[in-house]
Amino acid sequence: MTTVLKVNAHDLNSQFFHDLGQMIPENSEIEIRIPEKKHKLELFSDEQFWQVIHALDWSKNDSDEIMAPAIGQLAAMPVVNIYLFADKLSESLPVDTRLHGDAYLANEGDDYLSVDDFLYVRCAVVAEGKEYYEQVLTNPTEFPDEISFEPLLSLADKAYEMKTGRDFDYHPTVSYETYSNQEGWK
């Protein structure tokens, strides 16, 4: 039997979670649902998301060094923002459409779409920043070749680990895997 607890957000604190943890078996999963209400102020805005992305240091050659300022910036925020960053990143990666896939294949000169390579190029599109992302989103023929940035997928994980000392075990609300945007592949 599933137990449903309705708790006012203002009553959530570390003591609440500590007490809850004492009452349930150790390996239990808890689902927290936040009703979708339009607030005047987002918990983690698009502007904050792009600020983290823009903190990537492209003057460096090593991916860890490129990501270090963005990881530090995200880790300095409340832990909930790390979860929300992961969600926004997954929502941004669906530059995952047939038109973008066709442009990728045209650039590659091939008719085989590597789902991983396509994902890593989509990561690079986001990592290049908001303006470039929006340009590629609205004009699939601008889809790049010769760039990829797989490490972007681990940015939230590394920020969470830096902040908490624990592994980030979270699956974003939207899948970023290639072909997950079913509407875009029709």
Question: Is the pLDDT at 62 greater than 70, yes or no?
Answer: yes
What is d(CA 116, CA 121) in angstroms, rounded to the nearest whole number?
9
Mean pLDDT over all residues of the chain? Answer: 86
Higher pLDDT, 88 or 7: 88
Mean pLDDT of 10-27: 73
Amino acid 40: pLDDT: 45
Q: Which two tokens mark 167?
A: 């592994």
User: Taking the mean position of all CA atoms in its chain, how far away is CA 148?
Assistant: 16
Question: Is the pLDDT at 39 greater than 60, yes or no?
Answer: no
Which of these, 141, 133, 155, lies nearest to 67 by C-alpha position? Answer: 155
Q: Which two tokens mark 101?
A: 């896939």
Amino acid 60: pLDDT: 97
Amino acid 93: pLDDT: 82
Measured CA distances, 104 to 32, 129, 172, 181 (Å)? 38, 19, 25, 16
Amino acid 179: pLDDT: 76
pLDDT band per the 50, 70, 90 thresholds, residue 155 = very high
What is the pTM assigned to this prediction? 0.76
Mean pLDDT of 75-95: 91
Q: Break the chain into its structural domains and give their ranges.
A: 42-185
